[in-house]
Amino acid sequence: MIEVNGLHHQFLIGKRGAERRVPVLHDIDLAIEQGEIVAIVGRSGSGKSTLLHILSGYLRPTSGELRVLGQDVTKFDEGAWSRFRLERYGFMFQSFQLIPTMTAFENVELPLTLKGVAPERRRKRAYELMDRFGIADCAGHYPGELSGGQQQRVSVARALALDPPLVMADEPTGSLDSENEANLLALIRELNRERGTTFVMITHDEQVARIAHRRLLLQDGRLQPHRKEAPMIHEVF
């Protein structure tokens, strides 16, 4: 599903002509198989979000190779990445990334609209997802009118609208209460078990990390197996 070889990344900071390079990721090798749930853990500033953004095509690595679903995507331009993400990726953002001028329903419907799904079919799919996450009554509300937990659920519903084979999740339960967190984790396990959906998750939450097949520790920009391997847990909370 994902293969990373010799990946390095640096940020340039400072004024033009006086920039300095700040290394963030060092010699990352990573292979994620189809149907895995992988949790990437580590302290703040360890490079977790940078790695997720590179795997998602939002950042281009300084050097190294990235292959996704058999394709070398390292040199994709923005247009190619946008098309590839729409076809293959779902995203659960820590900061939600909802479009403020669109209603909750329109945000969930957006990937279906971009994909060219017929109006009746996409409306049905969006309402099904919103009902499943308990936010059907929020359909006509704008993100600014919703609580953090409601915005998170809208974001998750949007991520799953096209049944993507690969979902990238940045602290997916960060704004959820315990009941909705349990519901989301149960859904992740269900999608993984029944549809083979692959999940790559960044998390500080032990409850989230527990459902992963593998935990990987990112420490000082270097990736290594977590000292505790977590078996997959299938029972519903």
Mean pLDDT score of the chain: 88
Residue 55 in domain: yes
The range of the structural domain enclosing residue 219 comes to 2-225
Question: Could you tell me if residue 234 is inside a domain?
Answer: no
**Vertex 197: Cα angle to 73 and 118 (nearest 5):** 85
Residue 115 has pLDDT above 90, yes or no: yes
> Which pLDDT score is estimated for 93?
79
Residue 230 lies in a domain: no
Inter-residue contact 201 to 169 (CB < 8 Å)? yes
Q: How far is CA 46 from the centre of its chain?
A: 18
Q: Is the pTM of this model over 0.85?
A: no
Q: State the average pLDDT over residues 44-67.
A: 92
DSSP string, 145-190: GS-HHHHHHHHHHHHTTT--SEEEEESTTTT--HHHHHHHHHHHHH
Residue type, 181: E
pLDDT value, residue 149: 82
Q: What is the mean pLDDT of residues 59-80?
A: 93
In a domain, 167, yes or no: yes
Q: What is the pLDDT of residue 231?
A: 42
Environment class of residue 106 by beta-carbon count within 10 Å: exposed (0-12), middle (13-18) or buried (19+)? middle
- Cβ atoms of residues 90 and 162 within 8 Å: yes
Predicted confidence band at 229 (pLDDT cuts at 50, 70, 90)? very low
Counted domains in the chain: 1
- d(CA 108, CA 127) in angstroms, rounded, equals 9
124 within a domain of the structure (yes/no): yes
CATH number, domain with residue 82: 3.40.50.300
